[in-house]
């Protein structure tokens, strides 16, 4: 009798399998047809079924059922996933893959932390991924030496004599990903007036890494919104969207940032919250769902997050809904458009950027083969999974070169970093710009800034 009680107690004390808090019907939506495999970047590279969405869903479900141990081999197949969500676009059954892989990763980190194997305590996670990237002010300070070196061209000497090879691998990767940085722009005022009759009042989400590295694109976005009759509010209290934390499994700090952003923007007084970075936009739109998924205790916080998420729009999506004013400045440029994964797959924003670009006089937009296949950036993936990231970057670059384009247009900071690094590494001179950079230049009757490398 005592043995039976001890066995029952042991069962009750045993931790629940990773994935047990995920709604099980989400696993069952997958009928294992395999139509997702041709859209999956990692499967295209490895040909391994376990590196496909179908295979990963099977692995996660088997772990959740207790039929498979979550060992290093299984975890490796899951870690290799870019979370690009291209499988969702390809799936005829409507499988919500992101609703599976993201909470499953949170569960893995919680399990590892409980067992004393928390990889996020590494120097890279603590000081770079979590300690630097989410803070734009810290990023700007950290980037100051790079801006100075680029201005006096000292970076070319450093690269020529191979000093970068002395850096730790991840820091060397970070250096290689650096774009040619524009001068640090002036800070935003809290309100920018509409030009002409006011058609909308919007909030502008400026982000963290994107704001520090591509501040000029945030300003271009604001000017385009103003040119389209929008009063632009830029709350100084806004913080990182939390995607850096959530996509690496750190749920609690991600929710802290979500709650801070929902409080920073008075959405009752705004027609939309505008974002120009695909990865951030996907995260912001998911705030309400994530709060429910993580069972946030504060009901008021859940409601505020849901209300905030409902107002979030990618800038291309919003302008298409508003009805854009015609830009008149001619920009003679042959360009191709790369679909950022979290814009085309997670947010389902595909045609709107192309329609906006078609308004720019003189711009020739040529199609890009496999435009919707991930370039390998995927947030911090290009730092944590360099081999797969480089393989996907080379695949993307080959298709870009085949277009004969002089510029690549994309609506995500991570894609910009990844693609421009691949172009520079291969010795080509192709610009990488955001759709708002082009529209802003056209509205102002200017040309794009000349390349400095």
CATH of the domain at 95: 1.10.1060
Structural domain for 161, as ranges: 123-177
Higher pLDDT: 430 or 12? It is 430
Token readout for 426 is: 């291969």
Residues 121-175 have pLDDT tens digits of 678 888 888 999 999 999 999 888 888 888 888 888 887 887 778 788 888 888 8
In angstroms, rounded to a whole number, what is the distance separating the alpha carbons of residues 291 and 298? Answer: 9
CATH of the domain at 313: 1.20.1050
* Residue 392 pLDDT > 90: yes
* Residue 7 pLDDT > 50: no
Check whether residue 376 and residue 411 sit in a common domain. Answer: yes
What's the pLDDT at 453?
Answer: 55
311 and 342 Cβ atoms separated by less than 8 Å: no
Check whether residue 130 and residue 15 sit in a common domain. Answer: no
Pick from 385, 367, 350, 336: nearest CA to 45: 385
CA 256 from chain centre, in angstroms, equals 19
Q: Please, which residues have CB within 8 angstroms of residue 12's CB and are 6 or more apart in sequence?
A: none
- Please check whether residue 449 lies inside any domain of the structure: no
User: What percent of the chain clears pLDDT 90, i.e. is strictly above it?
Assistant: 70
In angstroms, rounded to a whole number, what is the distance separating the alpha carbons of residues 165 and 311? Answer: 46
What's the pLDDT at 135?
Answer: 93
What's the pLDDT at 14?
Answer: 58
- Please check whether residue 186 lies inside any domain of the structure: no
With H, G, I as helix, E, B as strand and everything else as coil, classify residue 324: coil
What's the pLDDT at 41?
Answer: 95
Span between the terminal Cα atoms of the chain, in Å? 78
Check whether residue 71 and residue 158 sit in a common domain. Answer: no
* Residue 422 pLDDT > 50: yes
In angstroms, rounded to a whole number, what is the distance separating the alpha carbons of residues 37 and 151? Answer: 45
Check whether residue 289 and residue 195 sit in a common domain. Answer: yes
* Residue 68 pLDDT > 60: yes
* Residue 184 pLDDT > 80: no
Name the domain boundary from 321, 354, 384: 321
What's the pLDDT at 9?
Answer: 44
- Please check whether residue 183 lies inside any domain of the structure: no
Residues 228-241 have pLDDT tens digits of 999 999 999 999 99
Check whether residue 255 and residue 208 sit in a common domain. Answer: yes
Contacts 24+ apart (CB under 8 A), 73-77: 75/108, 77/48, 77/50, 77/51
Query: Could you identify the residue written with the tokens 């399990």?
Result: 111
> pLDDT band for position 1 (50/70/90)?
very low
Token readout for 66 is: 């207790």
Name the domain boundary from 153, 177, 201: 177
CATH of the domain at 346: 3.40.50.10700
* Residue 191 pLDDT > 90: yes
Residues 23-50 have pLDDT tens digits of 999 999 999 999 999 999 999 999 999 9
* Mean pLDDT, the chain, integer: 90
Q: Looking at the 3D structure of the chain, how many domains does it have?
A: 4
């Amino acid at each position: 009798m005592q043995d039976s009680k001890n066995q029952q107690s042991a069962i009750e004390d045993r931790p629940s399998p990773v994935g047990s808090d995920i709604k099980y019907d989400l696993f069952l939506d997958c009928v294992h047809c395999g139509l997702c495999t041709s859209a999956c970047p990692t499967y295209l590279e490895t040909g391994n079924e376990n590196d496909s969405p179908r295979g990963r869903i099977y692995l996660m479900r088997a772990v959740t059922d207790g039929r498979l141990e979550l060992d290093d081999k299984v975890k490796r197949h899951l870690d290799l996933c870019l979370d690009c969500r291209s499988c969702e676009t390809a799936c005829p059954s409507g499988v919500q893959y992101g609703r599976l892989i993201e909470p499953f990763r949170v569960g893995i980190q919680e399990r590892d932390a409980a067992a004393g194997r928390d990889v996020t305590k590494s120097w890279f996670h603590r000081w770079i991924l979590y300690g630097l990237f989410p803070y734009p002010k810290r990023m700007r300070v950290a980037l100051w030496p790079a801006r100075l070196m680029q201005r006096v061209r000292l970076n070319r000497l450093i690269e020529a004599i191979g000093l970068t090879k002395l850096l730790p691998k991840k820091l060397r990767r970070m250096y290689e990903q650096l774009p040619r940085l524009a001068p640090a722009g002036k800070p935003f005022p809290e309100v920018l007036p509409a030009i002409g009759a006011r058609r909308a009042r919007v909030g502008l989400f400026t982000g963290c890494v994107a704001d520090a590295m591509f501040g000029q694109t945030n300003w271009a976005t604001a000017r385009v919104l103003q040119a389209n009759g929008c009063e632009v509010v830029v709350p100084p209290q806004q913080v990182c969207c939390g995607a850096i934390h959530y996509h690496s499994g750190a749920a609690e700090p991600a929710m802290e940032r979500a709650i801070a952003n929902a409080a920073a923007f008075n959405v009752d007084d705004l027609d939309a919250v505008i974002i120009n970075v695909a990865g951030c936009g996907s995260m912001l739109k998911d705030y309400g769902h994530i709060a429910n998924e993580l069972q946030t205790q504060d009901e008021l916080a859940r409601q505020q997050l849901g209300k905030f998420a409902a107002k979030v729009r990618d800038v291309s999506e919003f302008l298409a809904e508003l009805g854009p004013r015609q830009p008149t400045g001619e920009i003679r440029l042959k360009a191709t458009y790369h679909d950022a994964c979290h814009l085309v797959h997670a947010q389902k924003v595909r045609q709107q950027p192309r329609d906006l670009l078609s308004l720019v006089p003189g711009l020739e937009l040529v199609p890009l083969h496999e435009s919707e296949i991930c370039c390998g950036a995927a947030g911090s993936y290009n730092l944590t999974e360099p081999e797969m990231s480089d393989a996907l970057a080379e695949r993307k670059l080959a298709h870009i070169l085949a277009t004969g384009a002089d510029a690549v247009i994309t609506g995500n900071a991570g894609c910009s970093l990844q693609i421009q690094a691949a172009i520079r590494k291969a010795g080509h001179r192709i610009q990488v710009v955001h759709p708002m950079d082009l529209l802003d230049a056209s509205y102002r009757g200017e040309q794009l800034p000349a390349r400095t490398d």
